[in-house]
Amino acid sequence: LTYLHLQSTGISGTIPVSLARLPKLRSFFAVNTNLFGTLPVEFGASTELRDLDFALTHISGALFDCHGANGLSSFSRIDLSSSRVSSTIPECFGRLARLQVFDIRG
């Protein structure tokens, strides 16, 4: 599985860690869903994931921890706008050379 798009499906519940562990996942869009809870740290360890979009969801908590998040360098787009993520932007995000979009608007 390389692309998982759940946009506007009405899916609800917490984000299963197993989704973040899919070895070839490149794109995960869960825009405008009823997903809630914290963003699994395993997303930050993925070396294939390029696009992560949880805009208009109910996810909350902290962003990725830079320690042990080797895969963050592969991200080109992270959209957490209108979610409930509540933390400071990790310092390592400034070193993500491939990151083109990082949206955390309220």
Give the tens place of pLDDT for each residue, 45-80: 888 999 999 999 988 887 776 665 566 778 899 999
Three-state DSSP class for 46? Answer: coil
Look at strands 3-5 and 51-53 and give their pairing.
unpaired
pLDDT tens by residue, 7-38: 999 899 998 899 989 999 999 999 999 998 88
Per the structure block, which two tokens stand in for 16?
Answer: 């299963």
* Euclidean distance between CA atoms 90 and 66, whole angstroms: 7
* Euclidean distance between CA atoms 90 and 73, whole angstroms: 13
pTM of the model: 0.86
Return left, alpha or beta for 47; rule: phi > 0 is left, psi -120 to 50 is alpha, else beta: alpha
Q: Which amino acid is residue 90, in one-letter code?
A: P
